[in-house]
Amino acid sequence: MTSISLSRFLLEAQRSHPDAMTPDLRLLIEVVARACKTISNAVNKGALGNVLGNVGTVNVQGEAQKRLDVLSNEILLEANEWGGHLAALASEEMDDPHPIPNRYPKGEYLLVFDPLDGSSNIDVNVSVGTIFSVLRCPEGVREPTAADFLQPGSRQVVAGYTVYGPSTTLVLTFGQGVASFTLDREQGSFVLTQRALRIPEDTSEYAINASNRRHWDPPVQRYIGELDAGKTGPRGRDFNMRWVGSMVADVHRILTRGGIFMYPVDAKCRDKGGRLRLLYEANPMGFIVEQAGGAATDGRQRILDVQPHALHQRIGVFLGSRNEVERVTAYHLGAA
Ligand code: P6P
């Protein structure tokens, strides 16, 4: 069977959906994918590449920066600043947006990303990933500021992630469903492996950091208590739990076989607004999950409807199999 490269897939998408897949978006995705290949090579070197461990600095999140966090961020910045497709970039690892240097042309898109999500897993050889989101730069804005990135997730034109696991897999949406590509290391290119990922509406698998149980609000206590009661409780069936501690790995499992992923706002993280970040974790993953037939809320409202007020704002996240997300959201709204 003829393998379809990412380049061919994007060209065909441009022909069939010219408004959704413009030449500059096609270039942007190819550039990000190429940067992810470079990050994959660095991640895969592990202890042999002098890329493990901390650099001794702390990022805007107050988290210790891993060598690979900083390297991945630099790879994405350098790959994207010369192509003329972006007006600015923003990253989990940088306090403020990164302008496109004046020596390069500016484009009409904004790229925001988590260069290496789950990086606390790197030193223990557990899957990590890159998450990215693309917005349009507001009309007439030549020097974008953080305020120009503060758009609801429903305005995203592209979202994707690359999971650096047993295989390096790129998952992508531009609003016409979700496709996945696996890196063929012999060819050095991403090859289409699934054209239309769909999340089953029901599931028996949930993902949450259960060590936070005592901090959860009542709706989450009720929902998880019912799952744990299994056959003996109101759900009448048993459930299984998985928690990788790397959002990309947990979400990829859910896209592959269903499930619900939860990181609620609780007594422990309420003062920060939550654990996960809206612009470069919840929004891109919410767009991808919805395009695959799932749902994504903050417990009360659709994540993609939330109007951001800060670049590194955090939010509660419930996403995955639609019927489970709707159930736990109904519990929060007192509607069940
Ligand atoms: P905890 C990784 O740091 C991350 O941002 C997500 O990838 C992951 O789902 C979550 O935090 C893990 O949080 O509290 O279990 O370490």
Whichever domain contains 96, its CATH number is: 3.30.540.10
pLDDT band at residue 191 using 50, 70 and 90 as cut-offs: very high
Question: Does a structural domain hold residue 260?
Answer: yes
Specify whether 115 is located in the same domain as 245.
Answer: no
For ligand 1, atom 10, the nearest C-alpha belongs to 245
Specify whether 64 is located in the same domain as 148.
Answer: yes
- What is the full DSSP assignment across 169-187? EEEEESSS-EEEEEEETTT
Q: The domain containing residue 291 runs over which residues?
A: 205-334
Residue at which a domain ends, from 161, 194, 227: 194
Question: Does a structural domain hold residue 1?
Answer: no
Mean pLDDT along residues 46-50: 84
Instruction: Provide the angle, in degrees to the nearest 10, between the axes of the packed helices 322-332 and 218-229.
Output: 140
Question: Does a structural domain hold residue 200?
Answer: no
Q: Name residues whose C-beta falls within 8 Å of residue 202's C-beta, 6 or more positions apart in sequence.
A: 258, 321, 323, 324
How far does the centroid of ligand 1 lie from the alpha carbon of residue 69, in Å?
A: 14
Alpha helices in the chain (DSSP H): 6-16, 23-45, 67-80, 146-149, 218-229, 247-257, 283-291, 322-332
How far does the centroid of ligand 1 lie from the alpha carbon of residue 84, in Å?
A: 33
Please give the Cα distance from 316 to 281 (Å, whole number).
11
pLDDT in tens, 192-216: 999 999 999 999 999 999 999 999 9
Please give the Cα distance from 17 to 10 (Å, whole number).
10
Specify whether 150 is located in the same domain as 289.
Answer: no
Please give the Cα distance from 244 to 180 (Å, whole number).
20
The pLDDT of residue 15 is 97
- Testing ligand 1's pocket by substitution, the residue of 54, 123, 131, 276 carrying the most ligand atoms inside 8 A of its CB is 276
pLDDT in tens, 257-308: 999 999 999 999 999 999 999 999 999 999 999 999 999 999 999 999 999 9
189 within 8 A of 34, measured Cβ to Cβ: no
Atom number in ligand 1 closest to CA 118 = 2
Residue 103 DSSP class? T
Q: Which of 82, 83, 73, 66 is nearest to 27 (CA)?
A: 83
pLDDT in tens, 111-150: 999 999 998 898 899 999 999 999 999 999 999 999 999 9
pLDDT band at residue 233 using 50, 70 and 90 as cut-offs: very high
Q: List, in sequence order, every residue forming a beta bridge with 158; answer none if it has no partner.
A: 134
The total number of structural domains in the chain stands at 2
Residue 139 DSSP class? T
Q: List, in sequence order, every residue forming a beta bridge with 152; answer none if it has no partner.
A: none
Entry pTM: 0.97
For ligand 1, atom 14, the nearest C-alpha belongs to 209
Please give the Cα distance from 119 to 65 (Å, whole number).
9
Specify whether 160 is located in the same domain as 254.
Answer: no
Question: Does a structural domain hold residue 199?
Answer: no
How far does the centroid of ligand 1 lie from the alpha carbon of residue 118, in Å?
A: 6
Between the alpha carbon of residue 135 and those of residues 90, 114, 285, the distances in Å are 11, 15, 14
Please give the Cα distance from 97 to 110 (Å, whole number).
10
Q: Give ligand 1 pocket residues (Cβ under 6 A).
A: 117-118, 120, 209, 245-247, 275-276
For ligand 1, atom 13, the nearest C-alpha belongs to 245
Atom number in ligand 1 closest to CA 243 = 15
- CATH number, domain of 257, equals 3.40.190.80
Residue at which a domain ends, from 194, 227, 257: 194
The pLDDT of residue 17 is 97
Atom number in ligand 1 closest to CA 212 = 14
Specify whether 78 is located in the same domain as 153.
Answer: yes
Asked if pLDDT for residue 1 goes beyond 80, the answer is no
Q: List, in sequence order, every residue forming a beta bridge with 184; answer none if it has no partner.
A: 189
Asked if pLDDT for residue 229 goes beyond 80, the answer is yes
172 within 8 A of 36, measured Cβ to Cβ: no
Question: Does a structural domain hold residue 230?
Answer: yes
Please give the Cα distance from 24 to 29 (Å, whole number).
9
Residue 276, token pair as written in the block: 């996960």
Please give the Cα distance from 6 to 170 (Å, whole number).
10
Higher pLDDT among residues 278 and 47, named by residue: 278
Question: Does a structural domain hold residue 69?
Answer: yes
Please give the Cα distance from 129 to 134 (Å, whole number).
17
How far does the centroid of ligand 1 lie from the alpha carbon of residue 72, in Å?
A: 18
Asked if pLDDT for residue 322 goes beyond 90, the answer is yes
Please report the sign of the dihedral spanned by the C-alpha atoms of residue 27, residue 29, residue 30, residue 34. Answer: positive
The pLDDT of residue 80 is 97
